[in-house]
Structure 1
Amino acid sequence: MAQQHLDPTDPTVVPADAVAGYLRARATEFLRALRTHRETGGGAAAGAEESTDAALALRRSARRISGTLHTFRPLLDADWSESLRPELAWLSGTLGREHAYAARLHRLVTALNRLSGATNFPTQTAIPTRTTTASTGSRSTTAASGGSRSTTAASGGSRSATSASAVGSRSAGAERVGTADPGTAGPGTRPPAAPDRGNLTVGAAKAGALLDRQLTLARTRAHSAALQALGSSRFHAVADSVAVLASEVPLTPTAPTADLRPLAAAAHDRLRDAVTGLPLHTAGHPYNAEALIHGLSPDTAPHPQDAPWHQVRLLLRLHRYALEVLYPEAVPVDVRLLAAGEALNRHRDASEAASAAAAAARTPRIAPATAYALGVLHADQRHEVEASRFAFQQSWQKEAVSTS
């Protein structure tokens, strides 16, 4: 891309100093979060929440640094930026898995309760506590010290047995309690459950227990992997590079004469081109039955229709980071883009939850009622995917109309 020389009389020109200042600020946040995590990560449970927040701040700073290096790479030293970006992406992905598994379990169990007409799982109140506990050093030590934890989780364990019995007792009473109508208050006004929910109610208990075992085990392993990553030499090399970035940004010799606006506009153009490739006409229908054809395919690969939407979500995030560079004081609020981003986030969550339900349904030797409940749950999440695509299509079309 040809570099444009700065015009000192043009107040709209954004110099390269803006991207340098943005990177220094994000690097400082990274180092501050790292120090907080080290001070609270191995402490008592009272500091576990602060340690979790520090880990999330680490991930947030790493994503912004990586995205900025990608968008404004013509102004940065090529060898340095290309070597740091993959490491930041690795760190961000490693730190985000534990939270993703916890959110996925909560989403699936909530949907299972809604579909079966049951009340909330008693264990759902313990999910935030489990998140807090997972941030302490004792949890990671237990998970990494041996296979007893994994064996217990795989075989059911006392906790899963307790969850299954609690869900079973609740499901057994679902026909008596039923589902509350909107606007009603108290169990006394709830009508009886519909008869066609019988099979789903029977399998919901074991389906919930199976999902709890699988996703809790995956979450424990992700927590152990995150702690190992934060103590590895690979992470220390990344931290050293970010520490250098906090004081000095390696710009190219031509960067001082460049304007940031064309590079930011190119990021927006890539987003628009990617959206053009989406089936927005199909997504404009509230119900897209064609998207459910491959729903319960034995293929364990991700859903073939989801990848382009995930790519648009990534490009939208890069566009938002570019706006943060151009407007360091306050990014202009665009309600349409905010709605589009929220729709794509819901799309990602529902897509991954549907994959988890399908994976659980492939577990060998599960009861037919359990498989049926997981199949209904999978279809429900795929419908959530379609609803998110419809919401994105509506918000994006509004943006196109307003900018045309």
Structure 2
Amino acid sequence: MSEMAKVASMRRSPPACFDTIEHLEDATAPDYLTPAQRNDFDMAREFLQAYTGSLGTFTSYRRDVERLLLWTWFIAEKSLEELKRGDIEDFIRFCQKPPRAWLGDHKTPRFHVVDGLRQPSPDWRPFVATVSKSAHKKGQLPDKAHYLASNSAIKQLLAITGSFFQFLQLEEYTVANPVALIRQKSKFVQKRQGHTSVRRLSQQQWQTLIETAEQMAEEQPQSHERTLFIISALYGMYLRISELVASERWMPTMNDFHKDHNGLWWFTTVGKGNKERQIAVSDTMLAALKRWRKYQGLSALPTPADNTPLFPLHRGQGALGNTTHVRNIVQGCFDRAIERLAEQGHRDEAEAMMDATVHWLRHTGISEDVKTRPREHVRDDAGHSSSAITDRYVDVELKERHKSAKMKKIRSD
């Protein structure tokens, strides 16, 4: 590829390849591809179809596989089977700091409808520069000129593209896995001593949030009894947002709360990797369920036959099925709690809470419980694949380490 052609490719953004899960099966290779590149497209579509059971996983895999395809076709001007170890290293460097033409400053739908047909959106970009929630609220805009992919993003990129090439190798589409041949991945991914801190709410932030949710429910029960129960479930049962909403794989219903032969209450959910798990229901979570059901005019606790939606829509029939809707519900409560903290003079706490997301509630619930519950119990309720993940939430050692360092002196008096 000539240097002039490469510069031209960097000055314009390529179109999206893959639409949403619902349209993946109907996806066809773009006309501009060579025959070999069309085979790349078909193999990538087949690979992605194995991950349609989980929206979050599909979204991550689609993002990085699509970036690989676009770089291969538009920058390297090759097909997947031609890529070598050096090409993959060039691709990773490209993703660390992509050209500005490939960068957007906000998320945009990949496809839109034109004359009844779904077409790639001209506003979509393969990469998106973002700012923190607190910076966004202050009017700060994303800085595309200084965009640099995070360490975790590159680590995930290596994992996903490595898995993709492993699939291609097993399918005998490629001879080798060029990602596996990169022996010094440390030059792309920095190693970290110890475990990273978990982003969570402080005790004061959480207490203010739950009190705010209770106050909102008292003032406007029709709008916020559901808000209160959602926040209680996210914290009290460590739920992910995807485990709250209805999807093709499952819909949370009232009888997902059930009592065993010992009279103990459990909640059944379907989490990451389409894995079902049972979560032990605490007395306070059971009380939250009773309050939620009482508001809806139902009996105190569900029967095995009660398959009504756990989170029904406020208007119309059916269940809450939009994660964005849930985020907006919780964010409204976050905003009120931040205002209360500021009014009470806790401006540092209010400022720090501006970056909080829905997932922080899961982290906060787990972090509080590992202080008093056996770690393996928290691990199983949280759906962690190993105890090592749960151990990330234990900060006792960090507190002791800081305590021992607190009185260190720089000079002798």
Normalising by the residue count of structure 2, what TM-score does the alignment of the two structures yield? 0.25
Greater fraction of residues in strand: 2
Q: Report which structure shows greater RCO (CA 8 Å, sep ≥6).
A: 1
Greater fraction of residues in helix: 1
Normalising by the residue count of structure 1, what TM-score does the alignment of the two structures yield? 0.25
